Structure 1
Amino acid sequence: MTNPLPPDDLGDLVACPTCDALHRLGAVPVGARAKCTRCGTVLMAPRAGAMTRIVMLAATALVLMVAAVFFPFLDLSAAGLSQHSSVLDAITAFSDGLLLPLSFAVALLIVILPALRLLAILYAIAPMMIGYHPLPHAQRAFRLVQVLRPWAMAEIFIVGVAVALVKVAGLATVSLGPAFWAFAALVLVTALKDNFMCKLTVWKTLENRTAS
């Protein structure tokens, strides 16, 4: 039976999120990548100016979210009749009777949770971007960012809309409103932001600046 490592030796141990292999990571130079020796998963990939890009993209996504919710989303025309709809209309379409919980779920998954995740990113990272210490509870805010990631489903909504449009296009004339393009841009900006974000680098920066 091997003796456990002293508590002081556990601070720089990192578990691979894919295979759970433990690694002892030192300082990783900017532009380099630290990979798992077992499965090759990238554990840490610091980039120059990454925090600035993440904050700017998160702020952009938040603006796009507001536009996507309140601007017209789709216009449907058939037999001389037209119907304008927005994301709010999609949310409130299930607000009657037994479908009311579905309305709450749609609002939560495609608007509230994505917006909350963006706000948590800004709260956790924006002060460090300009050289300040993290705000109180910044580590909890960044932990919330990771917890909410599987539940923020704006991209699932836009894929579902695209599939529905294929079926509706043969029955009516469909005009895409500004909110549709805002939502599409939101999905792209969110994917780009998550690509820039190295979770381990942010955690280490939070720990170092909180302790100093």
Structure 2
Amino acid sequence: MTTSDHAASDLSDLIACPQCDAVYRVVEPQSGERATCARCHTVLIAPRQGAGKRIIALALSVVILIIAATIFPFLSIRAAGVSNASSILDAALTFLDNGLLAVLALAVASVIVFVPVLRALLVIYVLAPVTVDRPPFPGAISAFRFSEALRPWSMAEIFAIGCAVALVKVADLASVEFGPGFWMFCVLVVLVVVQDNYMCRYSVWKSLEK
């Protein structure tokens, strides 16, 4: 083994905390245990038995719920005898003919619909062969890296908080009723958080390297 091989081997045994950049030598915990950063307590490694299939199931649920929540009525507003129901897709398409507002509408639709769907599909693409002990699909490493790069731009939960604040203000002026899309979106936000917390990224990278 050459010096460069020794250096590569040494680096592969190290892991850096994504929050505080503290570097540790890897000691892989048993299934169900967690390795955390001693400085900021961020979870670094958390392997779970059968986690891949559960994450795929969650990702599929996220895709289905996003599509359904986009199409079904999100909420309806009634005031002075006039009512109107709107879906997320309707709200985005309303501004398509208004120049700069069209760009804003597309940006909002991207971060609350397209990015979460794309992330879920990339996760399924990466994990599907790994969970059945098959070689990863071509480009799986790049796909997972891109999925992780999109994570800060997946803002479904931010949209939910913004809706809650807006509804509190609108409730004094009109009668607001939640549609099926609203409840689907609430479940979707929970599933996205559960999926992100359930995934052990160190284990995924190791599986792809093999």
The TM-score with structure 1 as length reference comes to: 0.91
Give the fraction of aligned pairs with identical amino acids, expressed as a percent: 51
Task: Decide which of 161, 166, 169 is 2:168's aligned counterpart.
Answer: 166
Q: Aligned equivalents of 2:128 and 2:50: distance in 1?
A: 12
> SS state of the match for residue 132, structure 1?
coil
Residue of structure 2 equivalent to 1:53: 54
Structure 1 residues 40 and 88: alpha-carbon distance in aligned structure 2, compared to 1, 3 A threshold: closer
Amino acid at match of 1:191: V
Residue of structure 2 equivalent to 1:145: 147
Deviations 1:72-126 (A, max 9, x none): 1111111111111000122123221332211121121111111111111110112
Q: Aligned equivalents of 1:26 and 1:200: distance in 2?
A: 12
Residue of structure 1 equivalent to 2:45: 44
Q: Aligned equivalents of 2:158 and 2:39: distance in 1?
A: 32
Residue of structure 2 equivalent to 1:88: 89
Amino acid at match of 1:141: A
For structure 2, the 5+ residue unaligned runs are none
> SS state of the match for residue 57, structure 1?
helix
Q: Aligned equivalents of 2:87 and 2:41: distance in 1?
A: 44
Q: Residues 28 and 35 of structure 2 are in contact (CA less than 8 Å); yes or no, is this contact kept in structure 1?
A: no
Q: For the aligned residues, what is the CA RMSD?
A: 1.7
Q: Aligned equivalents of 1:42 and 1:7: distance in 2?
A: 24
Residue of structure 2 equivalent to 1:68: 69
For structure 1, the 5+ residue unaligned runs are none
Amino acid at match of 1:158: A
Residue of structure 1 equivalent to 2:120: 118
Q: Residues 28 and 45 of structure 2 are in contact (CA less than 8 Å); yes or no, is this contact kept in structure 1?
A: no
Q: How many residues align?
A: 206
Deviations 1:114-172 (A, max 9, x none): 11111111101122122222111111111111100100111111111111111111211
Amino acid at match of 2:197: N
Q: Aligned equivalents of 2:38 and 2:99: distance in 1?
A: 55
